[in-house]
Structure 1
Amino acid sequence: MSASRTKFYLDKQNGKWMGVCAGIADYTGVDVTFVRIGMVLLTFATSGWMALAYIAAGAIADKKPIGLYDTQEDAKFWQGVRSNPRRSTAEVRSKFRDIDRRLADIETMYTSRNTRLSDEIDSLR
């Protein structure tokens, strides 16, 4: 895939106007309704400056490529990577450690002098 999954994109498919709030929601993993409510509140609190930032983001940011994520689980993974990359690498490292431990257990079981296991393997042949 040539598109970066860690970059902010406008989500025009799920957006209402320019797709900025939907893009922020997709980028952070927060519900788009909360992002829209926050945007309205910030627009009133900043006397309209947030509306200008919204328009600028809509003009500058790229549109989200179709099919950026393969599955919903894939989307959740990349949202987690964007929010905390160090935690994501620790999770991946932990999963690899677990897989390595399980493979070592299988190797130990297979190479040990377990007569019952040996008899079961021989019966399958």
Structure 2
Amino acid sequence: MTGSPQRPTRLYRNRARGKVTGVCAGLADYFGISTFIVRLVAVMALLMFTFPTLVCYFLATILIDPAPEFTYHSEEEKEFWRQVRLKPSESLSRLRHKFRDQEQRVRSMEAFVTSSEARLHREFREL
């Protein structure tokens, strides 16, 4: 999978927080849950289904790229990308709402700038 574009919405192995290869930490980051829970499920699967779990973990280690260094400008941006991953339709709705508000503000400013009141203010300043 190397050579594919790096996006904050993809599944990556998180070697910085990982214990072995970072697969469980990467899954926890991707789904927005506690790393402890993912590791607990992995250990339980290992105890009940040893061979299939080891094969899946080994394949995940090979197929999932290590996490690149994403530079988020704020915690808000990091949370935004996590929400995009977990609830894309809600994120899209939130963005539509924000852009609708921004568009309404721009329309209000345009209406004021092109109004006769704005011309009157400009003429008073020029006196």
- Post-superposition shift, 1:109? 4.2
C-alpha change, 1:43 and 1:69, in structure 2 (3 Å) is farther
With 33-42 and 53-62 compared, the bigger mean Cα shift is at: 33-42
With normalisation by structure 2, the TM-score equals: 0.73
Superposition RMSD on alpha carbons, in Å? Answer: 2.7
- Post-superposition shift, 1:111? 4.3
Are 1:38 and 2:47 matched, yes or no? no
Match of 2:84 in 1: 81
- Post-superposition shift, 1:107? 3.2
Identity of aligned residues (%): 31
Q: Which letter maps to 1:27?
A: Y
Structure 2 residue runs of 5 or longer lacking an equivalent are: none
Are 1:105 and 2:108 matched, yes or no? yes
Residues 29 and 76 in structure 1, CA contact (< 8 A), matched pair in contact too:
no
Q: Which letter maps to 1:56?
A: L
- Post-superposition shift, 1:11? 0.7
- Post-superposition shift, 1:113? 5.2
Structure 1 residue runs of 5 or longer lacking an equivalent are: none
With normalisation by structure 1, the TM-score equals: 0.74
Distance (Å, rounded) in 2 between the aligned partners of 1:122 and 1:51? 77
Q: Which letter maps to 1:35?
A: V
Distance (Å, rounded) in 2 between the aligned partners of 1:61 and 1:89? 27
Match of 1:53 in 2: 56
Match of 1:96 in 2: 99
- Post-superposition shift, 1:18? 0.6
Distance (Å, rounded) in 2 between the aligned partners of 1:103 and 1:13? 44
Matched length: 119
- Post-superposition shift, 1:105? 2.8
Q: Which letter maps to 1:70?
A: Y
